[in-house]
């Protein structure tokens, strides 16, 4: 695209250099710059992109977006604007030809439930004949190709690029997890959402946001961005639902269990294989089943049904498609094993998520409930003792272990966690493999082991290395070892 077309009518303070250049791409990462790119030199949380202008120019950038003219690069066209991030989103939207306008855009935000809700919404849209893409924590799905996710919500350039690629691959809808970080950092700016979903809000990411209120306000930006033609879907049982809806211009739809809602679940029967419930919508009852166990997954199910219902899909068809949903990797995922032990892995890493997972497991566990969990390093430290409280309240025994300690001392993390325990039904085993093995050794035929924190992740992050570690594989390996030891004995 010609630079003059790309920047036409955009309010730059100045454009220094030729506008007749052919721009081949956009990048805010100097390591990803290719010849002909426009490099966006923006300030991040920890770094300043202007430091990398020389590297970008060496890689072939022929234009820059910056907040201050750099006389050292007079031979490079420079676009000057004080708000680089705002201009970046405008350029990305224009360069990729406004992709969100050509898709049914669904954005899901909230502390917990984003991943399961987005997977389920995508699945149901596909089953309804509307081919969909996905951007989220586990993976990005574009056409038939799946890419491991590098971050839940990518940067604004990558978001627009992937949306355009989805269209090129035949998709007519896109479902996105929208994090508070992404909203605060303008990573989803210029994306026009047709439906925005709020799942819930509990304390999280307070290492980044200065307060719970600031965290909530970041989430609320998604709903303030909606126009009158859009739909906002709220979990009416969340204390923050009313706050999220303030100032929102979109049509408002609610779902819930406890409080009156547009989409409400009644007569709920929880089972290990899933949940039977009566869905009530517009005075009509529908007998329904979701193949995901747990009350929290019923909320995710309601969010998905409400999303499709709000766009006119037949409720009966949606409920029928729901029955065959294959589930989400690492979300209360059963791990098949040779001993037929009830072992599940889950991504739960907040107080509320842990409470939900263990409370749900309690509904189908006839024996002891054994929990394995830890807390990530270099993350919100305030939540650590509260996570211990949540596990202690719902489980019979807890094993505190390493999550992703990153640059923090694992023992120090564990000490902060165990401050939340009031009793003695716990043990600290920092080696995660040993912790899992200990849980398996303690488990009887009627017991359940819930391994939390990492879910689908196939790695473990330490200060100076990242190692392969998949809780599901480790369970399989350790059960096999225990079997071999029994035979040898």
**What pLDDT, in 10s, does the model give residues 284-320?**
999 999 999 889 999 999 999 999 999 999 999 999 9
**What pLDDT does residue 273 have?**
86
312-339 confidence digits (pLDDT tens): 999 999 999 999 999 999 999 999 999 9
DSSP string, 186-228: TTTTT---SEEEE----S--TTTSSSHHHHHHHHHHHHHT--T
Other Cβ atoms less than 10 A from the Cβ of 92: the count is: 25
Q: Are 441 and 475 in contact (CB under 8 A)?
A: no
Alpha-carbon gap, residue 201 to 237, rounded angstroms: 11
145-203 confidence digits (pLDDT tens): 999 998 878 999 999 999 999 999 999 999 999 999 999 999 999 999 999 999 999 87
Alpha-carbon gap, residue 452 to 357, rounded angstroms: 9
- Compute the half-sphere exposure of residue 474: CA atoms within 13 Å on the CB side of its CA: 24
SS (H, E, C) 326-340: CCCCCCCEECCCCCC
Question: Residues 217-227: what's their mean pLDDT?
Answer: 98
Burial class (CB in 10 A: 0-12, 13-18, 19+), 147: exposed
Q: Are 264 and 248 in contact (CB under 8 A)?
A: no
Sort strands 369-373 and 342-346 into parallel, antiparallel or unpaired: unpaired
Alpha-carbon gap, residue 74 to 18, rounded angstroms: 11
Alpha-carbon gap, residue 444 to 342, rounded angstroms: 9
Alpha-carbon gap, residue 42 to 65, rounded angstroms: 8
439-450 confidence digits (pLDDT tens): 999 999 999 999
Full-model pTM: 0.89
Give the mean pLDDT of the chain.
96
Q: Are 440 and 447 in contact (CB under 8 A)?
A: no
Tokens of 387: 């996570």
Tokens of 222: 């998604």
Tell whether the model's pLDDT for residue 207 goes beyond 80: no
Q: Are 416 and 428 in contact (CB under 8 A)?
A: no
**What pLDDT does residue 210 have?**
79
CA angle 158–163–168, rounded 5-degree value: 120
3-state secondary structure of 151: coil
Please give the C-alpha separations between residue 403 and each of 266, 398, 432, 454, in angstroms, as whole numbers. Answer: 37, 14, 8, 7
161-175 confidence digits (pLDDT tens): 999 999 999 999 999
Which segments within 60-190 are labelled E, that is strand? 63-66, 77-80, 104-109, 132-135, 139-142, 145-148, 173-177
460-485 confidence digits (pLDDT tens): 999 999 999 999 999 999 999 999 99
Model confidence at 2, in pLDDT bands (50, 70, 90)?
A: very high
**What pLDDT does residue 209 have?**
82
Q: Are 387 and 373 in contact (CB under 8 A)?
A: yes
Name the residue among 38, 20, 18, 19 with its Cα closest to residue 28: 38
Cβ partners under 8 Å of residue 171, min gap 6: 103, 131, 132, 133, 142, 143
3-state secondary structure of 407: coil
Chain-centroid distance of CA 288 in Å reads 26
Question: Residues 107-132: what's their mean pLDDT?
Answer: 98
Model confidence at 79, in pLDDT bands (50, 70, 90)?
A: very high
Q: Are 236 and 253 in contact (CB under 8 A)?
A: no
How long, in residues, is the chain? 489
Alpha-carbon gap, residue 112 to 307, rounded angstroms: 17
């Amino acid at each position: 695209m010609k630079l003059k077309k790309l920047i036409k009518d955009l309010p730059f303070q100045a454009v220094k250099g030729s506008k007749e250049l052919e721009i081949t791409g956009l990048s805010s990462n100097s390591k990803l710059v290719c010849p002909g790119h426009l490099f966006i030199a923006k300030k991040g949380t920890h770094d300043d992109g202007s430091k990398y202008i020389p590297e970008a120019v060496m890689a072939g950038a022929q234009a820059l977006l910056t907040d201050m003219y750099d006389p050292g690069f007079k031979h490079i066209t420079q676009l000057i604007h004080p708000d680089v991030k705002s201009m970046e989103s405008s350029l990305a939207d224009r360069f990729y030809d406004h992709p969100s306008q050509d898709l049914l855009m669904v954005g899901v935000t909230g502390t917990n439930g984003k991943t399961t809700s987005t997977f389920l919404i995508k699945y149901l849209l596909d089953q309804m004949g509307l081919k969909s893409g996905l951007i989220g924590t586990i993976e990005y799905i574009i056409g038939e190709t799946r890419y491991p996710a590098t971050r839940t919500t990518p940067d604004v350039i990558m978001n627009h690029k992937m949306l355009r690629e989805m269209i090129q691959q035949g998709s007519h809808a896109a479902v996105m997890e929208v994090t508070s970080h992404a909203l605060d950092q303008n990573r989803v700016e210029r994306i026009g959402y047709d439906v925005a979903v709020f799942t819930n809000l509990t304390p999280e990411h307070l290492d980044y946001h200065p307060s719970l209120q600031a965290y909530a306000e970041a989430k609320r930006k998604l709903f303030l961005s909606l126009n009158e033609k859009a739909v906002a879907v709220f979990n009416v049982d969340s204390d923050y639902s009313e706050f999220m809806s303030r100032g929102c211009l979109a049509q408002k739809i609610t779902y819930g269990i406890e409080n009156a809602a547009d989409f409400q679940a009644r007569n709920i029967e929880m089972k290990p294989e899933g949940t039977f419930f009566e869905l009530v919508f517009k005075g009509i009852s529908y007998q329904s089943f979701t193949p995901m166990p747990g009350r929290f997954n019923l909320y995710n199910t309601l969010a998905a049904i409400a999303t499709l219902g709000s766009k006119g899909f037949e409720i009966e068809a949606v409920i029928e498609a729901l029955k065959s949903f294959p589930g989400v990797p690492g979300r209360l995922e059963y791990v098949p094993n040779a001993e037929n032990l009830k072992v599940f892995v889950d991504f739960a890493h907040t107080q509320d998520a842990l409470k939900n997972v263990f409370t749900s497991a309690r509904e189908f566990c006839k024996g002891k409930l054994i929990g394995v969990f830890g807390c990530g390093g270099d993350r919100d430290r305030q939540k650590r003792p509260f996570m211990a409280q949540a596990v202690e309240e719902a489980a019979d025994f807890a094993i505190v272990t390493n999550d992703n300690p990153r640059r923090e001392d694992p023992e120090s993390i564990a000490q902060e966690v165990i401050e939340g325990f009031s009793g003695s039904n716990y043990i600290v085993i920092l080696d995660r493999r040993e912790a899992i093995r200990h849980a398996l050794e303690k488990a009887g035929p009627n017991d359940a082991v819930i391994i939390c924190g990492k879910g689908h992740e196939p790695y473990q992050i330490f200060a100076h290395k990242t190692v392969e570690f998949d809780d599901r594989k480790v369970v399989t390996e350790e059960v096999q070892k225990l079997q071999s030891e029994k035979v040898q004995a």
